[in-house]
Amino acid sequence: MNARIALRLAAPCLMALGLASPALAQTKGQLRLPEFAALADKASEMVTVTMDPKLLGIACRFLNSEDPEQASAKQICTSLTGIYVRKYTFDTDYAYPKSDIDGVRKQLSAPGWSQIVGAISKKEQTVVDVYLLIDGDQVKSLAIIASEPREFAIVNIVGSIDLEKLHELEGNFGVPNLEIETGKKPAATVKAPKPAPAPAPKK
């Protein structure tokens, strides 16, 4: 996928848990994702992860506390209430309905959501949006929507999110590699141009 600025989706580790419980009410910060049922036959690759609070709680218990990486992921996932990933890849341009993607983006205009990344490449026809749902001084949800002619991906992580530790979830439960700036890194500086070389003395 060309829109590497925001994510590079990894193969989900717990695809077997990708069934939502319709009896549970929608959690604040959870996006209403289309079924995309008609895309199953069109897509050459497909990733679907739907982990509501109950399934996520079960999955967290399977993480190995003796493994440092999994132990960190286990500590973070206990503060989450949902992980939702949709990724489709196609062999032809725009085999998916762009209106469905735009419908998800419109949900991010609701109060509380703040855009932290908005990247558009007209040359590559890619659009990447990263949003956070802020409640007071707490991040309660993360949403990433990335689309290009032959691929689109939607990631929604719901719960109390510590951006400094969020990367420790990468590779677990289908969570992609996230490149989120937290503001603690030093700002990039513009280098001054090198001075032109002095002309050689005339002989």
Chain segment 26-81, per-residue pLDDT in tens: 678 999 999 898 898 899 999 898 988 888 878 777 776 777 666 766 767 778 88
Give me the mean pLDDT over the 157-168 stretch: 74
The number of beta carbons lying within 10 Å of the beta carbon of residue 133 is 23
Q: Cβ distance 193 to 113 under 8 Å?
A: no
Q: Cβ distance 79 to 160 under 8 Å?
A: yes
Continuous H helices in 33-67? 53-61
Q: Which residues of 5-22 are buried (b: 16+ CB within 10 A; e: fewer)?
A: ebbebbebbbeebbeeee
Nearest C-alpha neighbor of 131 from the set 122, 140, 81, 162: 140
The number of beta carbons lying within 10 Å of the beta carbon of residue 166 is 18
Of 56 and 156, which is predicted with more confidence?
A: 156
pLDDT band at 145 (very low <50, low <70, confident <90, very high): very high
pLDDT band at 176 (very low <50, low <70, confident <90, very high): low
**Picking from 11-15, 27-31, 100-104, 166-170, which range would have the lowest pLDDT averaged per residue?**
11-15
135 φ, ψ to 5°?
A: -125, 105
Write down the pLDDT at residue 68.
67
C-alpha span between 149 and 200 (Å, rounded): 54
Residue 156 has pLDDT above 90, yes or no: yes
Of 174 and 41, which is predicted with more confidence?
A: 41
Tokens of 138: 């707490």
Quote the pTM value: 0.69
